[in-house]
Structures are given as C-alpha cells and as structure tokens.
C-alpha cells in the first residue's frame, strides 16, 4: 500500500532541494565565469587569489563548507537563516567547479579566432562577448550538467544545517513512524529520477546543439 | 582572529584523530572497492544481455543516490530488516558499496575504449579468461583509468565527511566538536578545510607520479 501523504511530504522536500540547487547554480555559474576570466586574463593578484580559493573550495566537502557558513559567519556577527546559509554554501561550492569548467572551455578555444577578432579591431572584451562566449558555453554544457548532478547528490549537506530538503524530510518521516524503509527508499527513487532526467536532458540538449550548429 | 586560530589549534589532538580516521576510512575504501569493482566490471562487460542489463541497473541505481541517503539507509534501514550494525560497520559498508559502483563504471569506461584486438590476440595466444584479465586487460585499464580513479578517490574523501551524521569521528565530526567546545567555528572549519586540501592534493600528486611512471614504462 502506498502512503500518499508520505509521498506528498517527500515531493515537498524534493521541491526545496530543487529550488535551492537551481538558485545556487543560477548564482554559481556566472560567478564561476567571472572567477575563470580573472584567471584567463591573468589579472594580477586577483588571479592568484582565485586560484587558491578554487583549489581549497574544490577540496572541501560540502558538509564542512555548510557548517563553516552556518556557524562561522554568525560568529563574525551576521545572522543567517538555514536557507540563506544553504544558498551561500551551494553557490560558493558550485562556483569553484564552474570556474574550472569555464576555464577549460575558454583555454581550449581556438587561438586563431581570437587573433582574427583582434585583426578586425575588436577589443578583448568585445571578442570575448561576441566570439568566445557564444561558442564556449556550448563546450561547457556537458560538464555543467555533470556538475549539476554532483550538486544534487551533495545537497543533502544542507539537511544537516536544518534545511528541510528531501533527505531531511525522509529522516523526519522515519523518526515519526519508526519505519525507516518506505521514506528512505522513496527518497532514493526521487533522487534517482531527478538525476536520470538531468542526464537525459543533457543528451537531448547536446543533440539540439549539434543539429543547430553542426558541432558541440 | 590569530588568537582564535591559536586557540583552535590547542585542540590539535582532536584534529589529528579526525584526520587519521578520515585517512584510514578512505584508504580502506579505495582498496576494497577497487578489488570488488574488478569483479563487478566483468558482468558489466558481459556478452549476455540480461547479465549486462542487471549489472548496469545496479550500478546506475547506486550511483544516482546521494551518499548521505545511502549512509542513512545502511544505518537505519538495515536494522529495521533485522541486520544490526555498528555505526562503523554501516559507514564502511556505505563507502564500499557506493564506490564499488563508481569504480566499476570507471573501469568499464576504460575497458570499452580498449582496442578489441588486444582481447582477440590474447585469446589467440591461449590466454584463459583470468590470465587475460590479469596480464593483458587489467594493467591497461588501471593505466588508462588512473587519473579518473584519482578523481573518484578525492570524491571518497569528500563524501566521507557526510559520515559525521552517523557519528563517525572523522575530520568534520571532530572539527564540529572543537567548534562546540571553543566557540571559534570560523577558524576551526578553515583548519579542517586546509587539512582536506592537503589530503586531496596528496592524492592528485600520487596520481601524477603514477601517470609519469606509466609513461616512462611505455616509452621504454
């Protein structure tokens, strides 16, 4: 017998997981691009700072980062709700990974196109906006979807600082009913559906790009 | 701020204990999961469709679940069906099951890129299945998949932090303990982050060295 009340609760938790992850990606992806550009253009001082930041964030577990944000920032005198702390945690984490994705795709960009752009009298910013970016985002797309699935899979870290996401909803139901199997297995299935849909969506988008532009 | 760091560092035995627990959990996981993955990759590459399909389904299901959820399942669900586990056993089982699936998938990816002539040639020379894997396929898989296996090992280190939730005294658990004793969370978690950075970079360094060694061997 399927307990529909439980499923409804879990879907509510999944919605929280999804909106927090989506907003974090919406913040983290452009932030990652800015971080990547300071490195690509070798902006003095900033570029080295960004390299250290990216290296440390990429090596830090999301849950450690979440505890750092949730306990560390209030200790400096700023109060945070769990949701805001979760958004900061996931945005910072994914910005570091996005920085590496952007950097790789921009560094791989054919040199001759940049040279041609400057031969046409474009400034570096114009060439970047009109020539590099419209092509580089396509190359970045597959690793970005990959990063999204990683973000979803590490998002239970925000459950630990009190956000009622899918994982926390499942453990609440388990604690309430003393029957851990149904909520945890249902939650696992919901996560699997989300991750599978992302992977499928990636294939569809890749095919659309290939059809429209000829190459990825 | 500096004195906060100094205060946090007076608790260095706690940091050290957490660090060492994280290290041995990950080393154990790496060795056991890799051995199990070598067994699991065989059905993944099987010529029989049903065998391959079942192996695929198992590997993909495990890989699509968040690590923390799997840890909760091992810790709370197994006792519910009559298998009582200590938190350590639950932690090790979760780590090994989760990463066996990942390692097997990585090895499968490397195997499918191996030229089929290698296997055919080996068979023509009379290699049995096991010898074929040990002498011809296996070594090439590890050389080809080395860097990706290294990345997954870094993921193991980061996933192991989730185990604090089921009360395993690893690095993040211990940092949280230091933080709650001294009330200097900012500095404490920065120290923990730096220790994770050291761990992850050592793995990267080792992978690079192994890669160089493999390159030298090929050049000879």
CA B156, CA B18: separation in Å to the nearest integer? Answer: 15
Three-state SS sequence of B86-128: CHHHHHHHHHHHHHHHHHHHHHHHHHHCCCHHHHHHHHHCCCC
- Chain B residue at shortest CA distance from A157: B162
Percent helix, percent strand, percent coil in chain B, to nearest 5: 85, 0, 15
The answer to whether residue B153 neighbours chain A at the CB level (below 8 Å) is no
- Spans of chain A, pLDDT less than 70: 1, 215-216
Asked if A59 lies within 8 A of B162 by C-beta distance, the reply is no
- CA-nearest of B149, B147, B56 to A196 is B56
CA B158, CA A64: separation in Å to the nearest integer? Answer: 9
Say if residues A190 and A11 touch (Cβ distance below 8 Å): yes
Give the pLDDT of residue A172.
Answer: 92
* Biggest distance spanned by C-alpha atoms of chain A: 71
Q: How many CA atoms lie within 13 A of A180 on its CB side?
A: 18
Asked if B197 lies within 8 A of A59 by C-beta distance, the reply is yes
User: What proportion of chain A, given as a percentage, has pLDDT over 70?
Assistant: 99
Q: What is the mean pLDDT of the segment spanning B173-187?
A: 88
Q: What is the mean pLDDT of the segment spanning B19-31?
A: 94
Enclosing H/E stretch for B11: none
| A21: CB partners within 8 A, 6+ apart | A90, A148, A151, A152, A155
Probe site for chain A from B69, B70, B166, B204 (most A CB atoms < 10 A): B69
CA B220, CA B217: separation in Å to the nearest integer? Answer: 5
Which of the listed ranges B25-29, B52-56, B109-113 does the model predict with the highest average pLDDT? B25-29
- The alpha helices in chain A, defined as continuous H runs, are 4-40, 46-59, 62-67, 73-75, 82-107, 111-119, 124-127, 133-154, 157-160, 166-177, 181-213
pLDDT above 90: residue B212: no
Say if residues B82 and B124 touch (Cβ distance below 8 Å): no
Helix (H, G, I), strand (E, B) or coil at B197: helix
Name the average pLDDT for chain B: 88
Please give the ipTM for the structure prediction.
Answer: 0.87
pLDDT above 70: residue B216: yes
Say if residues B98 and B159 touch (Cβ distance below 8 Å): yes
Distances (CA, A) of B151 to A143, A156, B111, B195, B206: 14, 21, 18, 17, 11
Probe site for chain B from A184, A190, A191, A202 (most B CB atoms < 10 A): A184
What pLDDT digit, counting tens, does each position of B33-90 carry? Answer: 999 998 888 888 878 888 889 998 999 889 999 999 999 999 988 888 888 888 999 9
DSSP B136: I
CA A20, CA A28: separation in Å to the nearest integer? Answer: 12
CA A37, CA A21: separation in Å to the nearest integer? Answer: 24
The answer to whether residue A185 neighbours chain B at the CB level (below 8 Å) is yes
pTM, full prediction: 0.88
The answer to whether residue A197 neighbours chain B at the CB level (below 8 Å) is no
Give the pLDDT of residue B196.
Answer: 95
CA A52, CA A56: separation in Å to the nearest integer? Answer: 6
- Chain B residue at shortest CA distance from A146: B64
Give the pLDDT of residue A1.
Answer: 65
| B110: CB partners within 8 A, 6+ apart | B140, B141, B144, B145, B148
Q: Which of A58, A67, A155 sits opposite B172 (nearest CB)?
A: A67
Q: How many CA atoms lie within 13 A of B186 on its CB side?
A: 13
Q: Which of A167, A179, A180 sits opposite B66 (nearest CB)?
A: A167
Angle between helices A4-40 and A133-154 (to 10 degrees): 140
- Chain B residue at shortest CA distance from A193: B64
| Residue B157 exposed, middle or buried by CB count within 10 Å (0-12, 13-18, 19+) | buried
Asked if A64 lies within 8 A of B65 by C-beta distance, the reply is no
Q: For the stretch B56-65, what's the b/e string if a residue is b when 16 or more beta carbons lie within 10 angstroms of its beta carbon?
A: eebbeebbbb
pLDDT above 80: residue B220: no
């Amino acid at each position: 017998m399927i307990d529909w009340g439980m499923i409804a609760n879990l879907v509510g938790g999944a919605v929280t997981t999804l909106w927090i992850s989506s907003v974090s990606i919406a913040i983290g992806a452009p932030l990652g691009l800015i971080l990547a550009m300071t490195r690509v253009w070798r902006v003095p001082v900033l570029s080295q700072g960004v390299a250290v930041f990216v290296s440390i964030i990429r090596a830090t577990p999301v849950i450690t980062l979440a505890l750092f944000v949730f306990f560390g920032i209030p200790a400096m005198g700023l109060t945070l709700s769990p949701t805001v702390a979760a958004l900061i945690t996931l945005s910072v984490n994914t910005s570091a990974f996005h920085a590496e994705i952007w950097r790789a795709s921009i560094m791989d960009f054919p040199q001759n196109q940049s040279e041609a752009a400057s031969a046409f009298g474009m400034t570096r910013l114009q060439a970047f906006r009109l020539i590099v970016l419209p092509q580089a985002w396509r190359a970045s797309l597959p690793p970005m979807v990959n990063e999204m699935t990683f973000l979803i899979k590490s998002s239970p870290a925000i459950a630990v600082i009190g956000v009622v996401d899918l994982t926390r909803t499942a453990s609440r139901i388990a604690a309430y009913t003393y029957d851990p199997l149904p909520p945890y297995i249902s939650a696992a299935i919901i996560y699997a559906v989300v991750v599978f849909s992302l992977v499928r969506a990636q294939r569809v988008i890749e095919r659309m790009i290939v059809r429209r532009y000829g190459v990825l | 701020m500096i004195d906060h760091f100094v205060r946090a560092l007076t608790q260095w035995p706690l940091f050290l204990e957490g660090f060492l627990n994280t290290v041995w959990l990950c080393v154990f996981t790496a060795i056991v999961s890799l051995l199990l993955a070598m067994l699991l990759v065989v059905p993944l590459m099987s010529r029989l469709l049903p065998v391959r399909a079942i192996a695929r389904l198992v590997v993909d299901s495990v890989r699509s679940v968040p690590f923390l959820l799997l840890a909760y399942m091992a810790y709370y669900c197994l006792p519910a069906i009559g298998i009582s586990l200590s938190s350590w056993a639950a932690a090790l089982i979760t780590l090994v099951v989760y990463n066996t699936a990942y390692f097997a998938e990585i090895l499968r990816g490397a195997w499918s890129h191996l030229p089929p002539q290698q296997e055919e040639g080996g068979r023509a020379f009379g290699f049995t299945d096991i010898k074929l894997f040990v002498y011809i396929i296996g070594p090439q898989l590890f050389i080809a998949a080395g860097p990706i296996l290294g990345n997954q090992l870094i993921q193991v280190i980061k996933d192991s932090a989730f185990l604090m939730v089921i009360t395993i005294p690893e690095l993040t658990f211990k940092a949280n303990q230091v933080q709650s004793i001294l009330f200097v969370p900012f500095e404490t978690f920065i120290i923990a982050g730096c220790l994770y950075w050291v761990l992850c970079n050592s793995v990267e360094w080792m992978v690079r060295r192994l890669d160089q060694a493999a390159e030298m061997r090929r050049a000879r």
